[in-house]
Amino acid sequence: MITLRGLTKRYGDTTAVRDLTVDIAPGRVTGFLGPNGAGKSTTMRMILGLDRPSAGEALVGGLPYARLRHPLREVGALLDAKAVHPGRSARRHLLAMARSNGIGGRRVEEVLAAVGLQSVAARRAGSFSLGMGQRLGIAGALLGDPAVLMFDEPVNGLDPDGVLWVRRLMRSLAAEGRTVFVSSHLMSEMQLTADRLVVIGKGRLIADAPVADVIAGSSRNAVRVRSPRCRELAAALEAEHAGVAAAGADALTVTGLPMERVGLIAHAAGAPLLELSAVAASLEEAYMELTGASVEYAAPAPRAGGAPAAGTQERR
């Protein structure tokens, strides 16, 4: 269990994390989402004792990280896959970590095999690709067989097979009853991997809810309806203050009304239905709605053809 209570971090006049209170429970994958600069990395660093909170507390299993007797056995983390001495082999890197926490060499071989790096364990970490570095970082997080695991962008640099492997790994770790906390910008992957989401923006908590609830709250959820009397049906739906958009010669996309209500309105209008189906928003759409006011580094939409907007000069 990870417990955050009033967690706050200030850097001079800037507040990176503000009064963050949330529980990251075991037995599920919790996705940690937010725009660049939202405070995600700072929060994770405070959980691991790398940054000191200005106020509040971050606890792992009820204790601050600094008070954990054998940290690697209680919490494993991958925050930066490049935080490895480039001259050390993968095996020696993991052995050094293991010895610092009283973990035997056999466990090093086990995690090397678990992440698929056994055949390159003698190679220097500095020669690894980004994807191989990610696997080595995950091996380090697993080394102490901890109950709490934290990963910051764990699929960076991985090919599709590697992404699928990470997804299955996260799910299997949660199924074992572990606490799994994963930060990512890949909404499609989070939709497939996470059970619950913690969303922050400008350091503040925006949402703490199951993935399904976050998506259900999106205004992008819609109803698709097909009828040979689309014009009359559209007029009847608009009279009920629904949003209506053409989706083909005989089809409409309807927002603002539940599917059952759309069907009843169609019946009352005498419009026979060829199709009535729900169109669920994606997590990406729901996320963009939630965080739209929290984006700090927003750029204007590109013009057709990718040309820079008037008054700007392309940087070469």
Q: How many CB atoms lie within 10 A of CB 236?
A: 19
How many domains, in total, are found in the chain? 2
Paired residues of 181 in beta bridges: 30, 150
- Does 192 lie in the same domain as 97? yes
| pLDDT value of position 299 | 64
pLDDT given for residue 294 in this prediction: 76
* Distance of alpha carbon 167 from alpha carbon 64, whole angstroms: 29
Regarding whether 87 and 23 lie in a shared domain, the answer is yes
The CA distance from 178 to 310, in Å, is: 53
Examine residue 165 and state whether it is found in any structural domain, yes or no.
Answer: yes
Contacts of 139 (CB under 8 A, 6+ apart): 90, 94, 111, 112, 114, 115, 117
In a domain, residue 309? The reply is: no
The pLDDT value recorded for residue 249 is 87
Structural domain harbouring 242: 222-279
Residues 134 and 247 placed together within one structural domain of the fold = no
301 in any annotated domain: no
How far does the chain reach from its first CA to its final CA, in angstroms? 49
- Shared domain for 154 and 177, answered yes or no, is yes
pTM: 0.85
Pick left, alpha or beta for residue 259 (phi over 0 → left; psi -120 to 50 → alpha; otherwise beta): alpha
Determine the Cα–Cα distance for residues 172 and 180; give it in Å rounded to an integer: 10
Gap between the Cα atoms of 124 and 87, Å rounded: 6
Token pair of 285 as six digits: 């759409």
Cβ pair 146, 74 in contact under 8 A = yes
Read off the CATH number of the domain in which 128 is found: 3.40.50.300
Model pLDDT, residue 173: 97
Closest CA to 236 of 252, 221, 222: 252
Assign 3-state DSSP to the chain and report helix, strand, coil percentages, each to 5. 40, 25, 35
- Residue 225 bridge partners (DSSP): 252, 276
Is the residue at 307 inside a domain? Answer: no
Helix (H) or strand (E) holding 265: helix 259-268
Looking up residue 235, the CATH number of its domain turns out to be 3.30.70
Position 315 scores a pLDDT of: 41
How confident is the model at residue 46, as a pLDDT? 97
What does the DSSP assignment read for 105-117? HHHHHHHHHHTT-
Residues of the chain with pLDDT under 70: 296-299, 301-316
